[in-house]
């Protein structure tokens, strides 16, 4: 009885994740994007914690805590600071207009559900039905990366993709072994740190964070 109750909350949170992914696709401001990313992290941490509680998978508590610290507190804080320091919070139009992006997004969701169907049928976890949503989040983040030309949104897209993968791992297998998850978290942390340095370098050299300046290296 309680299990179904928990499961419904997890499903609700999964739906929320998907909704946030779509919201990210349509967000024009960088600060708004960072906020959405923080909310996505919060939904992810909460759903991981609930799965941990209802299935007695103790190592998932650790992953939930890592998600909370890294993706809800540390990284958004760092990005807010970066945006303020660099003063880049303007309205930026994606390269493809937003309604079209949304339509492509819907097609991707259908594709993701079809792809996930055979796998989730084989899965023994109670959360298997959310695998399709996880995969959809990955693909939507991927789409966001394709349609953005600024450095910070691109990075947030990348992190959102990692969120989706993390959610996929939780729903298909109750998460990866703890040591692997710690390693992945460390890599993501170092990655964001490297990117911070990198963004300042780009800014210094090009005087802008628009990646349209970076299209010189092509095959002629």
Can you name the residues that pair with 150 across neighbouring β-strands? 210
Q: Which of residues 149-168 bind other proteins (CB under 8 A)?
A: 151, 154, 158, 161-162, 165, 168
Q: Which of residues 175-214 bind other proteins (CB under 8 A)?
A: 176-180, 183-184, 186-187, 190-191, 194-195, 197-198, 201-202, 204-206, 211, 213-214
- Classify residue 97 by its DSSP letter: -
Q: Classify residue 182 as exposed, middle or buried by CB count within 10 Å of its CB (0-12, 13-18, 19+).
A: middle
To other proteins, the closest distance from the beta carbon of 146 in angstroms equals 10
b (16+ CB within 10 A) / e for 110-144: eebeeebeeebeebebbbbbbbbbbbbbbbbbebb
* 122 contributes a contact to other proteins by CB under 8 A: yes
* 79 contributes a contact to other proteins by CB under 8 A: no
Asked if residue 163 lies in contact with residue 41, where contact means CB atoms within 8 angstroms, the answer is: yes
Q: Out of 53, 62, 113, 142, name the contact with other proteins by CB under 8 A.
A: 142
Torsion 107-108-110-114 (CA) sign? positive
Q: What residues line the site for other proteins (CB under 8 A)? A: 118-119, 122-124, 138, 142, 145, 151, 154, 158, 161-162, 165, 168-169, 172-174, 176-180, 183-184, 186-187, 190-191, 194-195, 197-198, 201-202, 204-206, 211, 213-217, 219-220
């Amino acid at each position: 009885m309680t299990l179904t109750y928990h499961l419904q909350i997890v499903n609700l949170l999964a739906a929320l994740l998907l909704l946030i992914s779509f919201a990210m696709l349509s967000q024009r401001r960088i600060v708004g994007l960072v906020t959405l990313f923080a909310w996505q992290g919060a939904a992810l941490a909460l759903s991981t914690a609930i799965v941990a509680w209802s299935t007695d998978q103790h190592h998932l508590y650790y992953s939930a805590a890592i998600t909370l610290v890294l993706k809800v507190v540390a990284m958004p804080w760092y990005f807010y600071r970066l945006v303020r320091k660099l003063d880049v919070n303007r309205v930026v139009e994606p390269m493809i207009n937003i309604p079209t992006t949304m339509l492509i997004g819907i097609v991707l969701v259908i594709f993701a559900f079809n792809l996930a169907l055979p796998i989730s049928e084989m899965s023994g976890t109670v959360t298997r039905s959310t695998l399709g949503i996880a995969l959809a989040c990955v693909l939507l983040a991927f789409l966001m990366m394709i349609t953005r030309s600024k450095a910070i949104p691109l990075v947030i897209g990348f992190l959102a993709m990692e969120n989706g993968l993390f959610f996929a791992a939780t729903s298909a297998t109750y998460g990866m072994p703890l040591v692997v998850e710690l390693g992945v978290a460390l890599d993501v942390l170092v990655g964001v740190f490297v990117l911070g340095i990198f963004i300042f370098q780009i800014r210094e050299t090009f005087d802008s964070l628009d990646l349209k300046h970076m299209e010189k290296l092509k095959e002629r």
